[in-house]
Structure 1
Amino acid sequence: MINAKRFLQIGAMIVTLAVSGMASASLTTFKTYVGNYGVSSDGWGGTSQSGTISASVPAGATVVAAYLYSAMYGSAPAMGDVNFNGTNINSWDQEYVNPIPPSLPNYFRTGRKDVTDLVKPTIDGGPGGVYNFSLRESDSRTDGEALIVVYELASLEKSTVAILDGGAALDGDTTTVNFADPIDTTDPAFFAEMRLGISFSCCNQKSNVDVNGNLLTNNAGNWDDGEQQSNGSLITMGGYDDDLLNPNNYTDDDERYNLVPFINDGDTQIKVDTNNPSNDDNIFVALFHVKGEAGFNEPPPNSDVPAPAPLAMLALALFGVMYRRRQG
């Protein structure tokens, strides 16, 4: 006969096993958009602390969401202010502190701000093309900014846009892209891409990206979107004006990647692993755009497969029923 204490122990084991499948990566899913969506991203950084960041959006599209990221170095006690197109941002919706490098804990700090209301009036109803927004930083320890704009346009293919953010884990991060339907690689319209935002990166310090167990690049990083190779300008963000050629060398790697060459016909999942061997770069955002419906570190939308968290709750509920019956 099992006593109450043993029941509690078993219940804890059940919940632990159910939750163990949950993603523990430091880069975690912030937002997912499924529909007729497109996305623009861009980065800027400079020791001048004043510059321009842009969004490329076609005519007729409407902005669904826009997010500004600001990345700092140097164990700053709080995020510095950033003036975005005339509006001063002195509070952030979310701040992330990254524990790498391990010898200097809290050396990297990243802020995220919803700037949809500041971007939407400029783009909606506009002529389409590239829209520029001014930036001015208040703290010289700010490496730069990244702007992500998600937009909707009826003529676009149904797709999934996902934004993962936080800070790269010391031992690396893993992201799984789970599709609702098997991938048809013969479909000429199929696409799958990833863009990374990395700060405090220069001087041959770089990160690795593996896709489905195969090396995509071991040269992610550098100050591609900075004004010069200097602290306060060391940022790169895979952008709308970067290519999808996947060049694996430090100078030409632009942090925008085509994932299609790593996918087999009929696959239902893409597994992406990132890590920074130098333990001195901050991967603060990963942006994905894939054709079709997909879930990121969880089942795709409308899937019959329960997500890990509901599985844990179900296990706990079942245990509760069992426990009550034993006590009855």
Structure 2
Amino acid sequence: MKSKLKYLAVATACAMGALAAPSANATLLLRSAYQDAALAIDGWGGSSATGSLDVNVASGSVVQKAYLYSSSVWSGGIGNVTFGGTTFAPATGSILVPNTNPATTVVWDVTSIVKPVIDGGSGGAYSFGLSEGAFLDGEVLVVVYKNASTVGGTAIIMDGELSSGGDTTHLDFASAYTGGNVIASLASSYSYNGNSAVNATGQVTVVDVRTSTHTTSRRLTSCAGGNDDASFLAENGALITVGGTGDSTANPDPNCAGGAGDDELYNLGAGNSADASPFLTAGDTYLELLTNNPSDDDNVFFLGLTTTFRVSQVDDTPVDEPPGPSVPEPAALGLVGIGLAGLAGMRRRKTKA
């Protein structure tokens, strides 16, 4: 299956625009985007029903939006989650669509809990306690924030549910790429691929990159996915990972086979541990991400992007007035500076521990 992003020209450099209507069975949809902003992301899973999620931001940061995601075990049901002292029921959130695989993911807007704690604070790590009222694989907290260091950047949140099988995500640029960072974070539940010290073949997604100047595909990672945010615990109820707090864009090793080789955090404006040359180079007019997951049971539900350039427009709505929990179909992204938006059809699979 192929999903395609088309781009509309905007005022400067490299722009990206309208996202084609997504497939019914493999899609990540735009939830929100903010100018002069960045993302703070953390995940948690474990054998205990209680844990915490951290937000690491600098002094003077102001929260724009905060989302809490919770995913069921592959064949289990979703349930209540208590976060920051408030209990959230699935009916008060949004179930991510198309919700056709056996895992279910729900998202809640938790801005009212996170914002009063962080705004005006001295910065550092802010910890929010949580507990699960059902047998779940874990939670992910995504916070959009602004401070002096985020001026000129853009924070983009996409979520949904990707199907099993192979996909090609094609992104056309309205003008040639000139440079800039694109920090991409993927989240996956019901995912396992070894522990922190040993690369063991497991439930992983392979991601390759192809561009207009490099038409032969280049391996980004052979092991996206895992149970990193449950301290590599190999059991149901702990199979979750997201690129965020404590992770690095310095890996993955493109030949990795397990949990030690990939943090699910990538900079597509740079290289990886095997080759420092950027995946995107000056003059590129398109980018393709080729994805495949042989185990056929990962639940990839989130993509976050933090860029060093501005988004000009999202679905004809100013980015500082993003769409709410009911995501419109199709989304549109206009990016200034580099021209990379989302992985609208990115797909992933995996086997379970």
Aligned to 1:46: 46
1:191 aligns with 2:185: no
Q: Tell me the CA shift for residue 178 of structure 1.
A: 5.9
Partner of 1:209: 207
Q: Aligned-pair distance for 1:271? A: 3.3
Give the counterpart of 1:107 among 99, 102, 105: 102
Kindly state the Cα deviation for residue 144 of structure 1 after the two structures are TM-superposed.
0.2
Superposed displacement of residue 151, structure 1:
0.6
For 1:182 and 1:200, the matched residues in 2 are separated by 38
| Partner in structure 2 of residue 163 of structure 1 | 157
1:108 counterpart SS class: coil
For structure 1, which segment, 233-242 or 272-281, has the greater mean C-alpha deviation from structure 2 after superposition? 272-281
Higher gyration radius (CA) = 1
Q: State the Cα deviation string for residues 34-73 of structure 1 (Å, max 9, x = none).
A: 4211111010001101111111111111100110000112
Check 1:120–1:34 CA distance in 2 against 1; reply closer, same or farther (3 A cut).
closer
Within 1, Cα distance between the matches of 2:27 and 2:246? 24
Distance of aligned partners of 1:127 and 1:218 in 2 relative to their CA distance in 1, 3 Å threshold: same
1:165–1:285 CA contact under 8 A, matched in 2: yes
Taking only the aligned residue pairs, the percentage that are identical comes to 38
Q: Does structure 2 retain, via aligned residues, the 8 Å contact 1:97–1:108?
A: no
Structure showing the higher helix proportion among its residues: 1
Q: 1:179 touches 1:300 (CA, 8 Å); kept in 2?
A: no
CA contact (8 A) 1:28 1:164 kept: yes
**Most deviating of 82-91 and 156-165:** 156-165
Cross-structure match for 1:226: 230
Question: Alpha carbon RMSD of aligned pairs, Å?
Answer: 2.6
Does the CA contact (< 8 Å) of 1:92 and 1:111 recur in 2? no
Question: Could you tell me whether the CA contact under 8 Å between 2:164 and 2:298 is conserved in 1?
Answer: no
User: How far, CA to CA, are the matches of 2:155 and 2:303 in structure 1?
Assistant: 11
Instruction: Determine the C-alpha separation between the residues in 2 that align with 1:48 and 1:202.
Output: 18
Structure 1: stretches of 5+ with no match in the other structure = 1-18, 100-104, 303-328
Look up the match of 1:23.
Answer: 22
Deviations 1:103-155 (A, max 9, x none): xx641100011111110000001111111110100112x00000100111244
Report what 1:252 is aligned to: 261
Aligned pairs, how many?
273
Residue aligning to 2:116: 121
| Counterpart AA for 2:192 | C
Calculate the TM-score normalised by the size of structure 1: 0.75
C-alpha distance in 2 between matches for 1:34 and 1:116: 15
**1:167 positional shift:** 1.1
Against the structure 1 CA distance between its residues 74 and 205, is the aligned structure 2 distance closer, same or farther, given a 3 Å change threshold? closer
| Whole-angstrom CA distance in 2 between matches of 1:26 and 1:92 | 24
1:145 aligns with 2:139: yes
Please state how far the C-alpha of 1:171 moved relative to its aligned partner: 3.0
Question: Are 1:42 and 1:237, in contact at CA under 8 Å, matched by a contact in 2?
Answer: yes
1:286 aligns with 2:303: yes
SS in 2 for 1:88: strand
Structure 1 residue 301: deviation in Å?
5.8
CA distance in 1, matches of 2:92, 2:222: 32
Deviation at 1:180, TM superposition (A): 6.6
Comparing 290-299 with 33-42, which one deviates more in the overlay?
290-299
CA distance in 2: counterparts of 1:288 and 1:183, whole angstroms: 17
Q: Does the CA contact (< 8 Å) of 2:59 and 2:122 recur in 1?
A: yes
> Do the aligned residues in 1 keep the contact of 2:53 with 2:127 (CA within 8 Å)?
yes
1-side partners of 2:239 and 2:98: how far apart?
16
What does 1:4-19 correspond to in 2, within 5 Å? none
CA deviation after TM superposition for structure 1 residue 255, in Å: 0.4
Report the alpha carbon displacement of residue 247 of structure 1 after superposing the two structures with TM.
2.1
Alpha-carbon spacing, 1:247–1:229, altered in 2? closer, same or farther (3 Å):
same
- State the shift of 1:208 in Å: 1.5
User: Would the alpha carbon gap of residues 63 and 269 (structure 1) be closer, same or farther in structure 2, given more than 3 Å must change?
Assistant: farther
Question: Structure 2: where are the runs of 5+ without partners?
Answer: 1-17, 194-201, 211-216, 270-277, 315-330, 337-353
Checking the alignment, whether the CA contact within 8 Å between 1:244 and 1:258 is kept in structure 2 is yes
Secondary structure at the residue paired with 1:244? coil
* C-alpha spacing 1:60/1:175, structure 2 compared with 1 (3 Å): farther
Match of 1:65 in 2: 65
1:48–1:239 CA distance, 2 compared to 1 (3 A): same
Structure 1 contact 96–111 (Cα < 8 Å) conserved: yes
SS of the residue corresponding to residue 119 of structure 1 reads: helix
Write the distance in 2 (CA, Å) between the matches of 1:29 and 1:54: 25
